Amino acid sequence: MSLLRDSLKEIHKRLSTGELSASDLVEESLAQIAKVDGDVRAFLKVDEEGARKQAAELDKKWANSSTRGLLGGLPVGLKDNLCTEGLTTTCASQLLANYNPIYNATVVDKLAEAESVTVGKLNMDEFAMGGSTENSGFHPTYNPWDLSRVPGGSSGGSAAAVAAGEVYYALGSDTGGSIRQPAAFCGVVGLKPTYGRVSRYGLVAFASSLDQIGPLTKNVEDAAYVLQAISGHDAKDSTSAQVDVPDFLSALTGDIKGLKVAVPKEMMGEGIDAGVKERVQAAIKKLEQMGAVVEEVSLPHSDYAVAAYYLIAPAEASSNLARYDGVRYGVRKQGQNLLDMYLETRSQGFGSEVKRRIMLGTYALSSGYYDAYYLKAQKVRTLIRQDFERVFADYDVIVGPTTPTTAFKIGENINDPLTMYMNDILTIPVNLAGLPAISVPCGLAEGLPVGLQIIGKAFDEATVLRVAHAFEQETERLPVPPLGGKRA
């Protein structure tokens, strides 16, 4: 059994007694990466030298101290849209292939304060635009459960690395489901915090009103530890909320008796695979057996969420990605004049999915179409948020499937953008409303993981974690992924 599959409490105990060192954990991580990443391909950059140096410094520091950080010595992988000083941050795009930030994202500094060790940068869909990690500008990532299938996206590298035991935990970003969907596909826990709970400073922006950083972990308790470490107000981020950070670990009581659980009929209807629906229904029944009060509700405007999202997110992306012109940072392609240089840089640097979304967003914001498309989408967003508010007036959490299907085959949907976009139909409403949500494994369907999504009130991650942890304690854990099948 790998050290990286031990519980965090067990690792803390062994570190404090000197039985285990930070260097031991890092070497375990690097050995597993060397063993399996040739198949999984979760990493874009493994920083062996930097990780060993960080671990050695921690071991030296701990030799004269009995205290350990919240995440002391734990190897972490970072999605490659989180800025890391001195370590390439590419957003899995050829356009940023040579970009070395001169500062850290706030979450990276917070992890350093918690004494975690950064092992490297993880693959993703280019600029976080995609749901399969097939849109990476470098190479796809493969699902450890079946190497012929996608790991999900855009945080597919993060989910796959945790599932394959390459790192103890990882950070991803979630704009429309990009933490929860790959977590469901890879059989790990993925938490999207409330918008504003975690600083976005140093996260390369896709859609600024939707993006949120969160953890991907082996279990719910680990997610609570990581959220504890990365939460808090940040003056560098104007969208960071000035709210208190509760003790998330104290919420993990294992008791959900009397909690009111809402199940939206829209999340359990047409388009949900039979195997997924069966596992989620069994999970909901388990919550009922544990003492929760479960009732069906309606989120009537959720049917319009995908349409609204694919106007709002591309519009914000069109604005955010205008900065990548070959002048200030990233790769520059030569042209006969300035405009020609812009054209060549963006034509060669951006992949097809990024170009598609820039064009969609530019069109939606253009004169004559702004009111008809973008403004109307924002009004629908308000209606979706109001739907959640009405339900949460009477219920503590909302539950349903994380995704309508299990992980699909590599190449199956890559040329069908509409089918790919619909894969996020169950996660997108949460981002539009800015709410917290978690995906926790709830079994297998035909040998592939299924995710149960638990959605909470704004800034009530404690209740979301409480329900997820209680459910996890009462259900059988998934086995270690077999690294099965052949890569497509």
462 compared with 327, residue with greater pLDDT: 462
State the pairing for strand pair 397-401/169-173: unpaired
Q: What is the pLDDT of residues 113-168, one digit of tens each?
A: 999 999 999 999 999 999 999 999 999 999 999 999 999 999 999 999 999 999 99
pLDDT over 80 (residue 207): yes
Respond yes or no: is residue 79 known to be catalytic: yes
Report residue 41's pLDDT band, with 50, 70 and 90 as the boundaries. Answer: very high
pLDDT over 60 (residue 303): yes
Q: What is the pLDDT of residues 411-458, one digit of tens each?
A: 998 888 878 888 899 999 999 999 999 999 999 999 999 999 999 999
Catalytic residue (one of 154, 155, 173, 231): 154
- Average pLDDT, integer, range 207-217: 98
The Cα–Cα gap between 194 and 177 comes to 13
Q: Are 151 and 160 in contact (CB under 8 A)?
A: yes
pLDDT over 70 (residue 1): no
The Cα–Cα gap between 447 and 452 comes to 16
| pLDDT value, residue 381 | 98
Of 61, 41, 229, give the one whose Cα is nearest residue 139.
41
Three-state SS for 241-270 is CCCCCCCHHHHCCCCCCCCEEEEEHHHHCC
Catalytic residue (one of 21, 45, 79, 155): 79
Q: What is the pLDDT of residues 459-476, one digit of tens each?
A: 999 999 999 999 999 999
Label residues 428-467 b or e (16+ Cβ within 10 Å = b). Answer: bbbbbbbbbbbbbbbbbbeebbbbbbbbbbbbbbbbbbbb
For the entire predicted model, the pTM comes to 0.96
Using the 8-state DSSP alphabet, how is residue 203 labeled?
Answer: B
Report residue 65's pLDDT band, with 50, 70 and 90 as the boundaries. Answer: confident
Q: What is the pLDDT of residues 158-196, one digit of tens each?
A: 999 999 999 999 999 999 999 999 999 999 999 999 999
Respond yes or no: is residue 178 known to be catalytic: yes
Q: Are 164 and 466 in contact (CB under 8 A)?
A: no
Catalytic residue (one of 178, 231, 302, 439): 178
